[in-house]
Amino acid sequence: MMTVDAVRLGVIGLGNIGKTYVDLITSGEVAGAMLGAVSSRTESDSYSVPHFSRYEDLLDSGLIDAVVIATPTMSHPEMGAAAAARGLPVLVDKPLAMSVEQASALVRTLNAQGNSAVMLNQRFDPYYQEIHRLIHSGEIGDVMRFSWMMTAWYRPDVYFEVSAWRGTWVGEGGGLLINQCIHNLDVLQWLVGLPSRVSAIAGFGKYHTIDVEDEFTATLSYDSGATGVVVASSGEAPGINQLDIIGDRGSIRYDGEALTLKRSDVSVREHCRDTSEMFGMPQFRTETIVPPSANKPESQHAQVLRNFVASIASSEALLTPVSEGVASLQLANAILLSAWQNQVVELPIDAAAFEAELQARVSASSLRTPSEREVSIDMDKSYR
């Protein structure tokens, strides 16, 4: 437990999300924290704290008590290990790494240091929290089936063109699955667990001039008999974000705006077996649910940052410990591996086999020369 007045955070990376974290810290939204120093490849005098062009110099500066890594995915393992070697708690932006193998190695390193977390901010969405409560309290009975249409991740070409690393195997290790849908995949496995088997197809550069996937359809199968379908795209507009979860006693529908719950006192399986009515159906009560915290929205990123800081300052339990970042990569990697091999993939995946397939693509890939096009950036529009 620390005895300082505020935990001094260092932020590595001053791209879109790094600047968001800096703004949250400097605005006072992260209780118990202050900005100690920042690091990025280009000089910056935008913040009234020391700037380091080499992240190692920031880690060695003595100006920080913990570090937030907000750089491209390819650099997370190296930077996380370097921070751990210096005894610094680490908060890593999503995803932890490109692959399960890389992420698992990073988790082992960071867990040896302690107090490290991953930015799984969507778990703090009040609607997903309510859905989690409804499922795990048994409100809809056993989950039988689900579907999630994740086509609201539209990205125009300029999103990729102004970046050296986005949309490249060497920079991201994937596209839609790793960059955007990793949020949804984490929430999905948090809600209903990881499947036993995955079968998927994907489009690589279908909508954009990129090497990686910008569309996929995946079927998930569970040992319980439950099944699910996930469809996603970064090239469709207008897109939708609609999650349907069907249980033995009811159903949940969330379309990004309204949460609808249907419940029955009768098990559908029991009704199906016992009723003598040829066209009978269980009776359901329909309810629209608005979680109380939805009326006073709070930054999800700030909540993760506050918990990270409190874990350092007062030993508060981490809500998104770094180990929690591996499951979504299990699912993302499984979907890619199934699409590459055109076959059903069992989970947990063969991490070494995936790594070999990935590195073959990384070796044939390269970073792009970023376009100098003028670009308008509104980060609020990126969270869909």
Q: Any idea which residue has 């970042």 for tokens?
A: 325
Higher-confidence position of 374 and 100: 100
SS3 252: strand
Checking if the pLDDT of 247 tops 60, the result is yes
The residue extents of the domains of the chain are 7-122+298-322, 125-296+328-363
The rounded percent of the chain whose pLDDT value lies above 90 is 89
β partners of residue 197: 221, 346
Give the mean model confidence (pLDDT) for residues 320-331: 98
Quick one: pLDDT band at residue 128, thresholds 50, 70, 90?
very high
Question: Residue 112, by phi and psi: left (phi above 0), alpha (psi -120 to 50) or beta?
Answer: alpha
Closest CA to 139 of 225, 271, 245: 245
Q: Is the dihedral of CA 334, 339, 341, 342 positive or negative?
A: positive
User: What distance in Å separates the CA atoms of residue 356 and residue 56, rounded to the nearest whole number?
Assistant: 29
**Per-residue pLDDT, 363:** 97
Quick one: pLDDT band at residue 44, thresholds 50, 70, 90?
low
**Per-residue pLDDT, 380:** 61
**125-296+328-363: CATH topology:** Dihydrodipicolinate Reductase; domain 2 (3.30.360)
Quick one: pLDDT band at residue 1, thresholds 50, 70, 90?
very low
Quick one: pLDDT band at residue 378, thresholds 50, 70, 90?
low
CA 205 centroid distance within chain: 22
Identify the DSSP state of 300: H
Q: Are 66 and 10 in contact (CB under 8 A)?
A: yes
Q: Are 200 and 217 in contact (CB under 8 A)?
A: yes
Higher-confidence position of 295 and 150: 150
Checking if the pLDDT of 384 tops 80, the result is no
SS3 310: helix
Average pLDDT, the chain: 94
Give the mean model confidence (pLDDT) for residues 22-46: 91
- Sheet containing strand 117-118, edge to edge, reads 51-52, 33-39, 7-12, 66-69, 90-92, 117-118
pLDDT, one tens digit per residue, over 161-184 is 999 999 999 999 999 999 999 999
Neighbours of 361 (CB within 10 A): 18
CA 53 centroid distance within chain: 28
Checking if the pLDDT of 3 tops 90, the result is no
Q: What CATH number labels 7-122+298-322?
A: 3.40.50.720
Residue ranges of alpha helices (H) inside the chain are 16-26, 55-59, 76-85, 100-113, 126-136, 157-161, 169-172, 182-192, 268-274, 300-313, 326-341, 351-363
Q: Per 3-state DSSP, what percentage of the chain is helix, strand, and coil (rounded to 5)?
A: 40, 20, 40
What Rg do the C-alpha atoms of the chain give, in angstroms? 22
For the chain, first and last CA: distance in Å?
Answer: 37
**Per-residue pLDDT, 322:** 97
HSE-CB for 18 with a 13 A CA cutoff: 21
